[in-house]
Amino acid sequence: MSILVNKNTKVIVQGITGREASGVVKDMLAYGTKVVAGVTPGKGGLEVEGVPVYDSFKEAMQNHEANTALVYVPPFAAKEAVFEAVSNGIKVLDVITERVPVRDSVEMISFAKKHEARIIGPTSVGIITPGECKLGPIGGSNPDRVFAKGNVGVVSKSGGMTNETSWLVRQAGFGQSTAAGIGGDFVTGTSFAEFLQLFEQDKETKAIVLFGELGGVYEEQAAELIKKKIVTKPVIAFVAGKFSELMPQDTALGHAGAIIEGGLGTPSSKIKALKDAGALVARVHGEIPELLKQVL
């Protein structure tokens, strides 16, 4: 068992001919991920790492069976890419693209939900189910250093800290069922609360590790699910950015979603909400292995 990606995931990469995307495709193929096609308008007929490239998503779907899209296009093209993938029946999309305009993000997430499709991102580092599927740059060229099949679900706003937190899970002697970076934008396709519910429903996942940070209310929403017993599996959390509370209020910090308004979104408010709900909150990031051992 796992969530969202597994051995049956078949991927079409939008923007596959870009330098970064082509490198990620190489790593995904090496991991065993089924990358069946790529799409770059005007580049149809080319191949990237042996993967055929098409001018449109529709053309790719006419020639290949796929259920997942990896979106690696420029910010101005992200909304159209998502619309095209969803319109052709794709149900899971990982949007790696950064700096997508907020309005475009809202529109493409709304469009996906209307068609019962799920977006991870924008600004996602990817999602991995160890031993089955690696979608995006998560884990780099040697994901086995960080990820191993196991029973701990990992979810993080930060891309780099998705890997770092997963490494701490390994240090505790455990592996991951699935690990994902939701992206650090103000608007994201799949929130912490939604990921927690997916992990709750997954029989393989026995505990969840959440890496949060200042800004927004996604951590507070997750806490509400724990408080209401909608999520009953142990949740270990760490919230980064407590130093920000010592800084002037207009200081720019972190991701695009690191916005604090009216006292909401501060690390302290998130930590209190999670603790009050019953989550185990690490004082420092390195305390996560110790807390995991207490619940597993």
Give the integer Cα–Cα distance in Å for 188 and 256.
Answer: 11
* Rg, the chain, Cα only: 19
Sheet of 176-181: strands edge to edge?
133-135, 126-129, 176-181, 149-156, 207-213, 235-240, 280-281
| Amino acid, res. 68 | T
Q: Answer yes or no: 285 catalytic.
A: no
Catalytic pick among 64, 115, 255, 285: 255
Cα gap 217→243, rounded to integer Å: 18
Q: How far is CA 100 from CA 85, 136, 247, 287, 288, in A?
A: 17, 17, 28, 34, 32
Amino acid at 52: P
Q: In sequence order, what are the beta bridge partners of 177?
A: none
DSSP 8-state secondary structure symbol assigned to residue 41: T
Distance CA 17, CA 184 (A): 25
Q: How far is CA 197 from the centre of its chain?
A: 14
Active site residues: 255
